[in-house]
Chain A
Amino acid sequence: MKKKWILLLLVLVMVAVLLPGCSKQGAGTSGKGCTVTFGAAVSLTGKYAKEGEYVNNGYNLYVEEINKKGGIKVGGKTCKVALKVYDDESKAERSAQLVEKLITEDKVQFLLGPYGSGNTYATTAIAEKYQVPMVEANGAATKIFNRGFKYSFAVLTPAPYYLRGIIDLALDQDPNLKTVAIVAENGAFALEVAGGARDYAKEKGLEVVYFDKYAKNAKDVSSLITAIKGKNPDILLGAGHLQDTLLIVKQSKDLNLSPKVMGFSVGPTAPEFRKALGKDADYVFGAAQWTPELKIKSDDVFGTPQNFAKLYKAKYGEMPPYQAAESAAALIAYQKAIEAAGSLDRKKVRDALANLDYMSFYGRLKFNEKGMNVYKPMAVMQNYTDGKLYTVWPKEAATKPPLYPFKPWDQR
């Protein structure tokens, strides 16, 4: 019974996602042209449904824009781009299963990543097994890349770097801050983020007064908040994803936990954060892989972060979260590698990816020998009291000064 429903759901999702793609593909193959097909398993339901939606939007926006320009140049021809997306229900094993299906049954040429480090960890192993390149944009854990894989590349900055910006910003605002509490979701990505933050905080002379993890599907963290409040930290850093971040902020208010700085790895930069919390989103910092306010000029299909934001807003009705931008950037990495290789041969494209060094609207796309992009810095955004998100760090990209300190809950 369960399988039946899942199947029905999958068919529905497939129809919904592929209907626009199918007609284009038909038109492409009938003439002299060709089609490059990318495949991905993305979380459209389950815990990472919201983040997965942003990923899917990013992929689709790129496909739409590049096809408006004719497609990707391969040698002398211009190929249309097609996309095949399945819903992995936020489960790693399902994600791996679907990626295998994309390779063996749907015969896609190249793979894109799912959302989240856990799912990416599972799917990159499948890609490696079949020697199909996977450029992923949403798995930041370094453990994905410590297995000596040759076909996996990540366009985003690795997990241990996530919270550094927030720590720098906090100490820049007030060098007298002494203590920090760090909590992490019990998962690959979050634990690396938290570990990186702990090491960096110590390096900067802060005392880590609380460091612990909570269950992956936690629905109640009030005990954790109680323990943290007992330590009375100056800074609270959370490593996790959107749902945990919402929960922590909500229950911090319940229990009146008001540190001077509150920052998270994932969540505060997503439009959903403000929608779910309303005024309670104010003052919260979020790490960002990318912001629409960065000053970058590129010759890719989007040109600038501002133009990407404009196109995204026109299509989806809200400002783009960084998950959408990095997902689109994964396709740009492919485009540049395919153009350099002059071929759709998987091995040649892989080699071109390994040698890629390109400035996109998203930032520098270059991979180290493990396949990680360690060449792009992180930014910090803050939910301002006027209901908008602003880039507040690094200073040279900031559009507003940070609001400091965090206004205690009982004074709002």
Chain B
Amino acid sequence: MIADVWTVMWKEWKEIFLQRGSLRGGAWNLLLMIGVFGVFLPLQAGRSWVESPQGLIYWAWVPLFLVTSVIADSFAGERERQTLETLLASRLSDRAILSGKVSAAVGYGWGLTMAAMLVGLVTVNLAHGRGELLLYPAAVFGGIMGLSLLASGLVAGVGVLVSLRASTVRQAAQTMSIAIMLLLFVPVFGVQALPAEWKARLAQAVMGADVVQIVLVAAAVLMVLDLGLLAAAMARFQRARLILD
């Protein structure tokens, strides 16, 4: 099973890096991402890039953007390019195909996020370090690692469900954009809509809690959502249905 998941990941990554026609095009794409998230934005933010706990929100948001572009292609792309039926006629199990595609998207999004974070750290130290070594506090660093991984899983879970149903990559990408907007804005507007008393209590709780507590609660919520979405995707993955769709 693990070998099969790895095989699917190998193929997915090759396709991702070759989507611009050559490995050089794929490398430029990666460099552009790292340039934006790891150089340009940290230079704008200065020392607060490392010192402020708000970095947690930023790094949990970056994978949403990165994974969305990849996961929409997972099944809808295979269907559109007429490779899905041949893949389904192979010896790979449902679980291996699904896990391989989800892991490839998560690995891509999270790996790129980590690379951008490390480049960002170097950038801030070089540009704003003033002889000091600037590092994320341990809780923030752990939070960035964990939350960005779980956020990648969340988008991959939503994305795979969307991609399983979509008949074209464009349709999947459009639906994904709406899903991500909902993921981002429903909590924001949800909090706005709360009665003033509740909002005050919530703000008090957040201000009173330390970073570790916030990270743990966010991680627990994301974990539950990730597992739920994966279970839903597994239930939706039926070879006959995929072929007839």
A and B associate in one complex: no
Residues of A in contact with B (beta carbons under 8 Å apart): none
